[in-house]
């Protein structure tokens, strides 16, 4: 009788703690395949990079890379789940296994790589911190900003770069730290700040939301390197390889002229590297632990690097960013993928 | 008119109507608005305040607003001055997101059903004259579990992960769960705090004072990032569940204080009477003390719930998308970005409607209980 | 089973016996409670040690002495630069929290009392306006209020170049309210000493006047004499010391005003929003407190021949305060805790500095959160301490 009761209590508490699960020791790849869904840690909303559309479907540059990963691993780019996180909680979410991979425009730094114990895989967007000012101020260079009020988005590397830059140049400034982009925008438009500083991509995105975008200029100085890239947990090399090569596959595809539209035709290309990329020859997919056509799925469903870029943040979008540093190395940019062989 | 001409016996004169300046519209104005110099000044001040606030606000919200547009540009293009009116088209476009969050569209009937069930669960709590109220109350107690099953799924329904929850639905989930589970815990804490056993009392006091002394955002932050350190390695604990536990604990500390006030108001004679009837501690409290104490504390409890409901906005700080979070995420869509005011106003209105009706109810109860004595 | 059954029955009997005794039962319950709590704590502690170890993290506060490397512009009490340590940043944050909480409490009380009394006014339009304002304020999350006031200040107030200029020394802009800063020169020590002496005199005089009133019934104009003495003596000393005061007046240089004291818009917005939000609760408390005093008290006071303002001062307010103060204390506590939302508009309080940027830079969740929690706990203990003191004082008066 007592035992029955005990059993009952145990059963009830087990049901109550239904969602408490212990992670299996297996690798992330097996976990993802078993689950059938890829969980990407993303931001709660950065224009062009990650935002929900009208029906709650996540879109953006980072999201497309998340989808590309899902296409490679699961064969279906729709099988993703966006785990939203703020700047403060993103690493803990990844470390606590609440997500499989972090695609959340995160700057790669020494302390994050080594101190926070993450593994970074290449740079899918080269950014840098810039300044935006109103043309009326007549400022042409960041060196003329002595004494200005500057809006910064906190919780990032931005405030450190800013402090270092002004300290190094012997200038003073008033820091106005802001948590969200909307608040920062309001501060800047209202004239609370003379300058708005954040990653150059963010500046362009914010400027596009003004009623008078042409009255604002982004100063030529880029005061920091902000290499943004995906991250995974320490200690799962197979999974790390997959994330790394998903990114490289998109770059290689662009370099080789493989696009969403012509990928089927390219399967009969004469270039052996394209054939290896698309899984017609060689066994790259198997070595990664994926299907043969993993990269084909990426290109077919999501597109190559250039297409992802142009679709989400390129010149024709409201964000209106030019490729710049993010152009292929063959066109003077920094996007350079190791060969597929 | 002719009355004046008549003569009356002393003491027989009928009452004259009061002077015109004392009754009717004029009298009302005189007494309610312009009785003393101070009052005149206050009236003018209030009138000026209203005049300078309401017309422009009305113009922005209603007259110059745009209800149909596909983007911010189109919205502003339709106005005489860009940003001169509210662009409600944005809210309209995102309304489903605001209500359901990321809940899968084919399953949304479950959310709607839960809304309906919620209303049905509230009725027996609010109206004590309802037929078969006892069954209704049992249903109200069971509601959180029914709704939990409906929303999360399993046992025959397609499971929906809790991180798909968002928007108003999330607010209601956190609010309702916090409300229904914090009440029993709060009552226990209040009893513990009044217990004669020193250990129990000290533990309860420390718990209550700790929770009441720290801000909710700190607790939520602990729930989201530090709980992983407190649990055995490898444990994954649903974030929503963690938040619900924290919110419940948080409001139970406040409920405990309200109930303690109610308990203190019960005269000692009631305890003694229960003792003299030979009732045990549990029976005495269940049958005699708590029904009275809870009745007195109801307004305070409702106020605590209002506070809890408003505090649910803070979950956005740990990356959960409540209406405010949804609003901010939607503002990252370059097509609409820049319409923060509309979002904030919409959310303010939502909270105002919910909380105002709750506070009116608490006021009604207060009056009812007052006359009951 | 069979062998131990007799023993088992005895044990069960013993347990039942012990359980039915009220005192031993309470001891058992307490021992069990303590065991459970300590076991839980030990379990948590063990897990923390294991988890920290697994992630290669250490629990220590060394990071507090490393340079913070970020800037905090609003630090009215101590010097701070990006080269200062995290510890100093934490102190700045704590002081900022303290400042906004203290200012907020004062203004919220003031507004709350005014609105509470206005709610009792017979003036229809005032009564209704205040009512609508209170209801709207109370029923909307405080975070929205903070964002709203901040937006209002940033958008509605002019930029520095078009500042609202009062007598060329006070400037109101959306970058803050700039006021002249007093600079004390030699000789100001004398003025301070005289001020202190006159305050001491006033305190003594007040005591004497109260005693005199108690024994003779004569009422002295304490307020008038006190103000006269303090203002008069200080002014005389000020003149005698050859006016040892000059003003550092703010002026527009480049992008911003420099000199003077700058009251930042983030501070003003947070302060105003927290104040009026909290005051909407205080107003209800005040209204309830005054209504709780029965009308008979007023009539009795009138019958004794007290004038209306003396009635309010001597009869109504002291009694109403006894009802008002305890809930007031919890509103003060709420205000202090709500100030933790400062980060939303960029006011650098303790959550924004230690619990925000420092946490981000160092990855020390545990340590920084302990600092934040302790800060708020200490504040709340201080407030409850004061309230308990007050309640004790009130309890003595009660008969």
pLDDT tens digit sequence for A77-94: 999 988 888 777 788 888
Query: Which residue of B lies nearest to A183 if distances are taken between CA atoms?
Result: B340
Closest CA to A85 of B224, B161, C362: B224
* A186 Cβ under 8 Å from any chain C Cβ: yes
Closest CA to A128 of A321, A299, A338: A321
Query: Which residue of A lies nearest to C355 if distances are taken between CA atoms?
Result: A88
pLDDT score recorded for residue B197: 85
**Residue C94 pLDDT grade (very low, low, confident, very high; cuts 50, 70, 90):** very high
CA gap A234, A253 in Å, rounded: 28
Tell me the C-alpha to C-alpha distance, in Å, between residue A78 and each of A52, B39, B165. Answer: 14, 67, 18
pLDDT reading at A18 higher than 50: no
CA gap A154, A188 in Å, rounded: 15
pLDDT score recorded for residue A46: 81
pLDDT score recorded for residue A250: 93
User: Considering its fold, how many domains does chain C have in total?
Assistant: 2
Q: CA of C260, closest CA in chain A: separation in Å?
A: 15
pLDDT score recorded for residue A69: 94
Q: Radius of gyration of chain A from Cα atoms?
A: 23
Question: What is the homologous superfamily of the domain B94-372 according to CATH?
Answer: MetI-like (1.10.3720.10)
Residues 73-102 of chain C with CB under 8 A from chain B are none
Residues in A closer than 8 angstroms to C348, CB to CB, are: 177
pLDDT score recorded for residue A299: 92
**Residue A14 pLDDT grade (very low, low, confident, very high; cuts 50, 70, 90):** very low
CB-based contact B186:B252 (threshold 8 Å): yes
pLDDT tens figures, B198-227 = 888 899 999 998 998 899 988 988 888 788
pLDDT reading at C208 higher than 90: no
CA gap B89, A238 in Å, rounded: 47
What pTM did the predictor assign?
0.84
Domain of C25 in residue numbering reads as 5-54
Q: CA of C101, closest CA in chain B: separation in Å?
A: 13
Residues in A closer than 8 angstroms to B166, CB to CB, are: 56
The percentage of residues in chain C with a pLDDT greater than 90, rounded to a whole number, is 18
Least-confidence region, from A74-88, C79-93, C311-325, C327-341: C311-325
CB-based contact A229:A281 (threshold 8 Å): no
Residues in B closer than 8 angstroms to A56, CB to CB, are: 96-97, 100-103, 166
Which architecture, in CATH terms, is A129-224?
3-Layer(aba) Sandwich (3.40)
* C22 and C154 both lie in a single domain: no
Helices (H) and strands (E) in chain A, counts: 14, 14
Contact C256 A88 (CB under 8 A): no
Q: How far is CA C198 from the centre of its chain?
A: 29
pLDDT reading at C1 higher than 60: no
Q: What is the 3-state secondary structure (H, E, C) of C270-315?
A: HHHHHHHHHHHHHHHHHHHHHHHCCHHHHHHHHHCCCCHHHHHHHH
Residues in B closer than 8 angstroms to C372, CB to CB, are: 218
Least-confidence region, from A61-70, A94-103, C236-245: C236-245
Contact A45 B239 (CB under 8 A): no
**ipTM entry:** 0.84
pLDDT tens figures, C167-189 = 777 888 888 888 888 777 777 77
Q: At what angle do helices B24-32 and C124-138 cross, to 10 degrees?
A: 60
**Residue A26 pLDDT grade (very low, low, confident, very high; cuts 50, 70, 90):** low
pLDDT reading at B244 higher than 80: yes
pLDDT reading at C398 higher than 60: no
pLDDT score recorded for residue C397: 53
Query: Which residue of B lies nearest to C52 if distances are taken between CA atoms?
Result: B229
Contact B221 A88 (CB under 8 A): yes
Q: CA of C291, closest CA in chain A: separation in Å?
A: 43
pLDDT reading at A64 higher than 80: yes
Q: CA of A77, closest CA in chain C: separation in Å?
A: 32
Backbone angles phi, psi at A93, to 5 degrees: -65, -40
In this structure, the strands spanning C176-179 and C261-263 are antiparallel
CA gap A309, A300 in Å, rounded: 16
- Minimal Cβ distance to A182: which of B163, B238, B340: B340
Contact C123 B32 (CB under 8 A): yes
pLDDT score recorded for residue B338: 77
- Minimal Cβ distance to B229: which of C52, C141, C372: C52
All residues at 6 or more sequence positions from A150 whose CB lies less than 8 Å from its CB, including other chains: A131, A162, A173, A174, A175, A176, A193, A194, A195, A196, A197
- Stretch B19-41: mean pLDDT: 75
Contact A96 B82 (CB under 8 A): no
pLDDT reading at B372 higher than 60: no
Tell me the C-alpha to C-alpha distance, in Å, between residue C336 and each of B213, C93, C105. Answer: 9, 13, 8
CA gap B359, C3 in Å, rounded: 66
- Minimal Cβ distance to A96: which of B228, B325, B329: B228
**Residue A24 pLDDT grade (very low, low, confident, very high; cuts 50, 70, 90):** very low
CATH of A28-126+227-331, one of 1.10.3720.10, 1.20.810.10, 3.40.190.10, 3.30.70.3420: 3.40.190.10
Residues in B closer than 8 angstroms to A48, CB to CB, are: 334
Query: Which residue of A lies nearest to C176 if distances are taken between CA atoms?
Result: A192
pLDDT reading at C4 higher than 60: no
**Residue C153 maps to a domain:** yes
Q: CA of C271, closest CA in chain B: separation in Å?
A: 17
How buried is residue C16: exposed, middle or buried, by Cβ count under 10 Å (0-12/13-18/19+)? exposed
pLDDT tens figures, A151-187 = 887 766 788 888 888 888 888 888 888 877 778 888 8
* C266 and C378 both lie in a single domain: yes
pLDDT score recorded for residue B111: 86
Q: CA of A266, closest CA in chain B: separation in Å?
A: 34
* B37 Cβ under 8 Å from any chain C Cβ: no
Q: CATH number of the domain at C356, please.
A: 1.10.3720.10
Task: Describe chain C by its helix, strand, coil percentages, rounded to 5.
Answer: 70, 10, 20
Tell me the C-alpha to C-alpha distance, in Å, between residue B356 and each of A184, B300, C282. Answer: 31, 15, 17
CA gap C87, A219 in Å, rounded: 35
> What ranges make up the beta strands (E) of chain C?
164-166, 170-173, 176-179, 181-184, 245-248, 251-253, 256-258, 261-263
**Residue A67 pLDDT grade (very low, low, confident, very high; cuts 50, 70, 90):** very high
Interface of C with A (CB under 8 A): 55-56, 69-73, 82-83, 147, 150-151, 154-155, 159, 174-175, 253-256, 258, 265-266, 343-346, 348, 352, 356-357, 359-361, 363, 365
* C271 and C375 both lie in a single domain: yes
- Minimal Cβ distance to C344: which of A155, A174, A179: A179
**Residue C105 pLDDT grade (very low, low, confident, very high; cuts 50, 70, 90):** very high
pLDDT tens figures, B90-123 = 888 888 889 888 888 888 888 888 888 888 888 7
Q: CA of C175, closest CA in chain A: separation in Å?
A: 5
Residues in B closer than 8 angstroms to C135, CB to CB, are: 356, 359
Contact C126 B230 (CB under 8 A): no
Residue ranges, comma separated, of all CATH 1.10.3720.10 domains in chain B are 94-372
- Stretch C276-284: mean pLDDT: 93
pLDDT reading at C362 higher than 70: yes
* C302 and C381 both lie in a single domain: yes
pLDDT reading at B370 higher than 90: no
Q: CA of B225, closest CA in chain A: separation in Å?
A: 6
pLDDT reading at A5 higher than 60: no
* A97 Cβ under 8 Å from any chain C Cβ: no
* C288 and C342 both lie in a single domain: yes
Mean pLDDT computed over every residue of chain A: 84
Residues in C closer than 8 angstroms to B348, CB to CB, are: 140-141, 144, 148
pLDDT reading at A20 higher than 50: no
CB pairs A-B closer than 8 Å: 124
pLDDT reading at C277 higher than 90: yes
CA gap C46, C385 in Å, rounded: 35
Residues in C closer than 8 angstroms to B355, CB to CB, are: 138-140
Backbone angles phi, psi at C381, to 5 degrees: -65, -40
**Residue A253 pLDDT grade (very low, low, confident, very high; cuts 50, 70, 90):** very high
pLDDT score recorded for residue C5: 52
**Residue B16 pLDDT grade (very low, low, confident, very high; cuts 50, 70, 90):** confident
Mean pLDDT computed over every residue of chain B: 84
The percentage of residues in chain A with a pLDDT greater than 70, rounded to a whole number, is 92
pLDDT score recorded for residue A301: 93
């Amino acid at each position: 009788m007592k035992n029955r009761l005990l059993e009952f209590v145990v059963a009830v508490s087990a049901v109550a703690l239904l969602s408490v699960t212990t992670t299996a020791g297996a690798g992330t790849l097996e976990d993802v395949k078993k689950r059938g869904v890829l969980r990407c840690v993303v931001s709660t909303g950065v224009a062009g990079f990650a935002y929900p559309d009208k029906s709650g479907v996540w879109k953006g540059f980072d999201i497309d890379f998340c989808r590309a990963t899902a296409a490679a691993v699961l064969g279906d780019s729709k099988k993703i789940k966006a785990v939203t996180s703020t700047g403060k909680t993103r690493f803990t979410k990844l470390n606590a296994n609440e997500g499989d991979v972090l695609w959340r425009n995160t700057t790669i730094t020494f302390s994050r790589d080594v101190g926070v114990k993450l593994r970074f895989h290449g740079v899918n967007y080269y950014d840098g911190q810039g300044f935006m000012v109103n043309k009326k101020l007549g400022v042409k260079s960041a060196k003329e900003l002595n004494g200005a009020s500057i809006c910064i988005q906190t919780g990032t590397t931005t405030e450190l770069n800013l402090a270092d830059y002004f300290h190094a140049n012997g200038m003073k400034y008033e820091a106005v730290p802001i948590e969200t982009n909307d608040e920062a925008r309001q501060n800047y438009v209202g004239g609370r700040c003379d300058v708005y500083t954040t990653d150059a991509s963010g500046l362009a995105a914010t400027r596009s939301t003004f009623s008078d975008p042409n009255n604002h200029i982004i100063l030529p100085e880029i005061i920091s390197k902000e290499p943004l890239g995906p991250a995974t947990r320490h200690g799962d090399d197979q999974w790390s390889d997959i994330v790394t090569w998903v990114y490289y596959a998109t770059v290689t595809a662009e370099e080789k002229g493989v696009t969403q539209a012509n990928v089927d035709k390219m399967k009969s290309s004469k270039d052996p590297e394209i054939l290896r990329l698309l899984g017609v020859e060689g066994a790259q997919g198997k070595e990664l632990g994926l299907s043969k056509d993993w990269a084909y799925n990426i290109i077919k469903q999501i597109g190559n690097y250039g297409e992802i870029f142009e679709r989400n943040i390129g010149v024709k979008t409201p964000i209106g960013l030019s490729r710049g540093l993010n152009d292929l190395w063959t066109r003077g940019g920094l996007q350079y993928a190791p060969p597929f062989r | 008119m002719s009355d004046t001409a008549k003569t009356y016996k002393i003491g027989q004169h009928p009452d004259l109507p009061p002077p015109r300046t004392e009754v009717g519209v004029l009298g009302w104005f005189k007494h309610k608005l312009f009785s003393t110099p101070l009052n005149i000044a206050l009236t003018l001040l209030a009138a000026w305040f209203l005049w300078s606030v309401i017309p422009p606000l009305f113009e922005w919200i209603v007259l110059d607003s745009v209800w149909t547009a596909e983007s911010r540009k189109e919205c502003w293009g339709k106005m005489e001055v860009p940003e001169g009116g509210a662009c409600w088209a944005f809210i309209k476009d995102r309304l489903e997101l605001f209500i359901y969050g990321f809940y899968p569209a084919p399953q949304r009937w479950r959310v709607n059903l839960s809304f309906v069930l919620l209303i049905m669960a509230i009725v027996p709590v609010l109206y004590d004259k309802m037929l078969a109220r006892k069954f209704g109350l049992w249903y109200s107690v069971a509601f959180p579990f029914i709704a939990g099953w409906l929303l999360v799924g399993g046992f025959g329904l397609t499971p929906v992960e809790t991180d798909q929850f968002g928007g108003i639905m999330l607010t209601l989930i956190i609010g309702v769960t916090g409300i229904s589970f914090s009440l029993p815990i709060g009552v226990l804490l209040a009893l513990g705090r009044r217990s004669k056993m020193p250990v129990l009392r000290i533990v309860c006091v420390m718990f209550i004072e700790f929770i009441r002394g720290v801000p909710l955002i700190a607790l939520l932050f602990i729930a989201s990032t530090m709980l992983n350190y407190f649990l055995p390695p490898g444990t994954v604990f649903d974030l929503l569940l963690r938040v619900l536990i924290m919110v419940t604990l948080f409001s139970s500390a406040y409920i405990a204080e309200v109930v303690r006030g109610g308990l203190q108001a019960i005269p000692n004679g009631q305890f003694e009477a229960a003792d003299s009837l030979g009732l045990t501690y549990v029976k005495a409290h269940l049958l005699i003390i708590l029904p009275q104490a809870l009745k007195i504390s109801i307004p305070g409890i409702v106020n605590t719930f209002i506070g809890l409901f408003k505090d649910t906005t803070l979950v956005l700080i740990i990356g959960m998308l409540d209406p405010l979070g949804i609003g901010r995420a939607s503002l990252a869509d370059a097509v609409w970005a820049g319409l923060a005011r509309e979002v904030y106003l919409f959310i303010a209105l939502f909270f105002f409607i919910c909380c105002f009706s709750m506070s009116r109810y608490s006021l009604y109860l207060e009056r009812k209980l007052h006359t009951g004595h | 089973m069979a062998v131990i059954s007799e023993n088992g029955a005895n044990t069960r009997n013993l347990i039942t016996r012990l359980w039915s005794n009220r005192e031993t039962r309470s001891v058992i319950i307490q021992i069990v409670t303590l065991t459970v709590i300590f076991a839980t704590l030990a379990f948590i502690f063990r897990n923390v040690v294991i988890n920290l170890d697994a992630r290669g993290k250490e629990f220590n506060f060394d990071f507090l002495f490393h340079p913070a490397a970020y800037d905090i512009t609003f630090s009215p009490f101590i010097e701070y630069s990006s080269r200062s340590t995290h510890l100093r940043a934490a102190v700045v944050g704590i002081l900022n929290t303290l400042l906004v909480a203290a200012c907020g409490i004062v203004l919220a009380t003031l507004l709350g009392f005014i609105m509470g009394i206005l709610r009792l006014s017979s003036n229809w339009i005032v009564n209704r306006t205040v009512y609508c304002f209170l209801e709207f304020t109370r029923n909307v999350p405080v975070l929205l209020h903070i964002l709203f006031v901040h937006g209002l200040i940033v958008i509605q107030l002019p930029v520095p170049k078009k500042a609202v200029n009062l007598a060329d020394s006070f400037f109101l802009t959306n970058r803050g309210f700039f006021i002249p800063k007093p600079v004390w020169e030699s000789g100001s020590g004398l003025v301070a000493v005289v001020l202190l002496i006159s305050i001491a005199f006033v305190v003594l005089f007040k005591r004497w006047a109260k005693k005199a009133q108690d024994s003779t019934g004569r009422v002295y104009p304490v307020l008038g004499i006190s103000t006269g003495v303090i203002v008069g003596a200080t002014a005389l000393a000020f003149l005698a010391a050859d006016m040892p005061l000059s003003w550092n007046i703010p002026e527009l240089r480049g992008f911003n005003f420099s000199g003077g004291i700058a009251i930042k818009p983030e501070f003003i917005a947070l302060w105003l929003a927290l104040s009026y939000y909290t005051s909407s609760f205080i107003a209800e408390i005040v209204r309830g407190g005054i209504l709780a005093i029965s009308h008979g008290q007023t009539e009795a006071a009138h019958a004794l021949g007290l004038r209306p303002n003396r009635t309010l001062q001597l009869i109504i307010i002291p009694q109403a305060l006894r009802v008002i103060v305890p809930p007031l204390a919890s509103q003060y506590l709420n205000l202090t805790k709500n100030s933790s939302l400062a980060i939303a508009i960029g006011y650098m309080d303790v959550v924004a500095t230690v619990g925000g940027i420092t946490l981000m830079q160092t990855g020390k969740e545990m340590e920084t959160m302990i600092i934040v929690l302790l800060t708020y706990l200490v504040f709340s203990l201080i407030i409850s301490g004061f309230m308990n003191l007050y309640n004790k004082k009130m309890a003595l008066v009660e008969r």
